[in-house]
Amino acid sequence: MRRRTFLGSSAAVGGLGLLAACAPGSDTDGGGGDAAAPEASDVETDPAAMGEVSLKVWDQEVRGAQNDAITALIEAFEQEYPNITVERVSQSFDDLQQQTGLALSGNDVPDVLQVNNARGDMGEFVKAGQLTDLSAYSEAYGWEDRYSTSVLAKSRYSADGVTFGDGPLWGLPQTGEVCGIYYSAAKLEALGAQPPTTWDELFALVEAAQEAGEQPLVLGNLEQWPALHVFGPLQANFVSTEEIITLGMGNAGADWTGDANVQALTQLADWAGSGAFGDSPNGLAYDTAWAEYTEGTGVLLIGGSWLGPDMEAVMGDDLRFMAPPAGADGTVATTGGTGLPFAIPAEAANVDAAAAYIDYITSDAAMELIAEKGGMPVLRTAELAPESGVNKDIYEAFDAVSTDGVLLPYLDYATPSFADTAGAALQEVIGGQAEPSAAAETLQADYGEFTAQG
């Protein structure tokens, strides 16, 4: 999802340790993409017993909080295990994307590599046998006890790459992301309103704001993708989490043209048609929209957690954030995800050391350091929340969704072309150029063609 181009300092994209190799527990033998996955009992988990290792790590933790956290963790890791030297190569998300395919098919692969978990990246690498199945390492280190099911699902694929969200584990993230509702506390007070606890209350708040002459919602959708961050949370009010996960993961068995999805698209169209998003949301750029919100335009902004720090810098304590109300299943469910998982190439030379690195930078102590540096840790999020401010709200919302609720996939995960398909379809719904039922047919055509390939 293009959201990562705009990540603020609190949305540090994940770090993890990964690994790959030819023989279980071996850190000296290179290659191993065709080898059977090791058993947990074969995994060496004591880094001090691994001998002298030069560990090659590629990441895109280049922004302020991201870089500060990963740098501090590497320094601490090397200090605790002086026999392992981390050779870190950091680069932008776009540069890493361009280099990953070349690296995985070459002869000089890194031991640890951040991989975008969308189908077009991680899914294709899994299908090609270019990543290491981390199941044994997950068992040996207890990662499934540490992480919630909905978080780990974002890094699971079947071994053939067909099923997303189920199957072996191919990566592990450090940080989290969640889409929720920003609101101005002062504007709610002026309207005599409280933060909505149900979707019906939210719909009523939108109407009350319009009647009071306020713009209820802010959306800049010039780039097309921002509408997905509004529609995803809204969809959960109408559609079951199981169906959204099936659609969003691009797995067979669901249908975009069902009544519930059409109802969700109709609500989006109604908001746009009534002027709830302002005069021309499709002509407004994403960054311009949230900047205008900080200057007083609008009551609510439905968007990602990464916007919080930049908006708080202008709005201060007036800016608040909440997870959406409980959805169709009676549980809190909203679009979200993790920072880029760290994965292990199938031809990595230092498997156990890479796994140890992953475990170290996703440990409880690592989560504390990430929070201290300004990132949002994917684990212990509410516990490590700041004492006040919008990040406290964001941390607590992510924790509620990822532990007790359902963290729904970004809808553009579904197929390699779905980001463009959905972005254009939602833009047409918002602009009134397409009826909700027609947009549903468009979305189904992309999803249906992809899932029919098996």
- Please give the full DSSP string across 399-443, using - where no structure is assigned: HIIIIISEEEPPGGGSSTTHHHHHHHHHHHHHHTSS-HHHHHHHH
SS3 369: helix
Strand partners, 88: 57
125 and 191 inside one domain: no
Please give the structure tokens belonging to residue 388: 């006040």
381 in any annotated domain: no
**R_g of the chain, CA atoms, integer Å:** 22
SS3 147: coil
Asked if residues 341 and 16 have their Cβ atoms less than 8 Å apart, the reply is yes
161 and 182 inside one domain: no
Give the pLDDT of the chain (454 residues) as one tens digit per residue: 444 333 333 333 333 333 232 222 334 333 334 445 678 778 999 999 999 999 999 998 887 888 999 999 999 999 999 999 999 999 988 888 889 988 998 888 999 999 998 888 899 999 999 999 999 999 999 999 999 998 999 999 999 999 999 999 999 999 999 999 999 999 999 999 999 999 999 999 999 999 999 999 999 999 999 999 999 999 999 999 999 999 999 999 999 999 999 999 999 999 999 999 999 999 999 999 999 999 999 999 999 999 998 999 999 999 999 999 999 999 999 999 998 999 999 999 999 999 999 999 999 999 999 999 888 999 999 999 999 999 999 999 999 999 999 999 999 989 989 999 999 999 999 999 999 999 999 999 999 999 999 7
DSSP at 60: -
384 in any annotated domain: no
Asked if residues 207 and 334 have their Cβ atoms less than 8 Å apart, the reply is no
281 in any annotated domain: yes
Asked if residues 74 and 86 have their Cβ atoms less than 8 Å apart, the reply is yes
Which has the closest alpha carbon to 148: 168, 176, 121? 176
How many domains is the chain partitioned into structurally? 2
219 and 281 inside one domain: yes
280 and 185 inside one domain: yes
252 and 311 inside one domain: yes
Please give the structure tokens belonging to residue 371: 């929070």
C-alpha torsion sign, points 236, 242, 247, 249:
positive
148 and 261 inside one domain: no
393 in any annotated domain: no
53 and 97 inside one domain: yes
Q: Give the integer Cα–Cα distance in Å for 117 and 340.
A: 7
Contacts (Cβ under 8 Å, ≥6 apart) of 40? 136, 137, 139, 140
DSSP at 230: H
Contacts (Cβ under 8 Å, ≥6 apart) of 136? 24, 37, 38, 39, 40, 42, 43
383 in any annotated domain: no
Which has the closest alpha carbon to 384: 160, 354, 394? 394
277 and 362 inside one domain: no
Taking the whole predicted model, whether its pTM rises above 0.75 is answered as yes
Strand partners, 89: 58
Asked if residues 56 and 342 have their Cβ atoms less than 8 Å apart, the reply is no
- The CATH number for 270's domain is 3.40.190.10
Q: Give the integer Cα–Cα distance in Å for 115 and 97.
A: 8
Q: Give the integer Cα–Cα distance in Å for 115 and 58.
A: 10
Asked if residues 315 and 159 have their Cβ atoms less than 8 Å apart, the reply is no
388 in any annotated domain: no
Q: Give the integer Cα–Cα distance in Å for 72 and 90.
A: 14
420 and 279 inside one domain: yes
SS3 160: coil
H-only helix segments in 167-240: 185-190, 199-211, 226-235
Please give the structure tokens belonging to residue 247: 């659609």
Q: Burial letters for 295-333: b for 16+ Cβ neighbours within 10 Å, e otherwise?
A: eeebbbbbbbbbbbbbbbeebeebbbbbbbbbbbeeebb
264 and 325 inside one domain: yes
303 and 169 inside one domain: no
Q: Give the integer Cα–Cα distance in Å for 320 and 3.
A: 20
391 in any annotated domain: no
Range of the domain at 353: 2-175+339-373
Please give the structure tokens belonging to residue 63: 């922004």
Helices vs. strands in the chain: H and E counts, helices first: 18, 11
* Widest pairwise Cα distance in the chain: 70
- Strands 84-90 vs 53-59: parallel, antiparallel or unpaired: parallel
Q: Give the integer Cα–Cα distance in Å for 439 and 423.
A: 11
Output the pLDDT for position 4: 38
136 and 185 inside one domain: no
Q: What residue type is assigned to position 107 of the chain?
A: N
Output the pLDDT for position 36: 53
72 in any annotated domain: yes
Output the pLDDT for position 159: 95
Q: What phi, psi does 47 have (nearest 5°)?
A: -60, -30
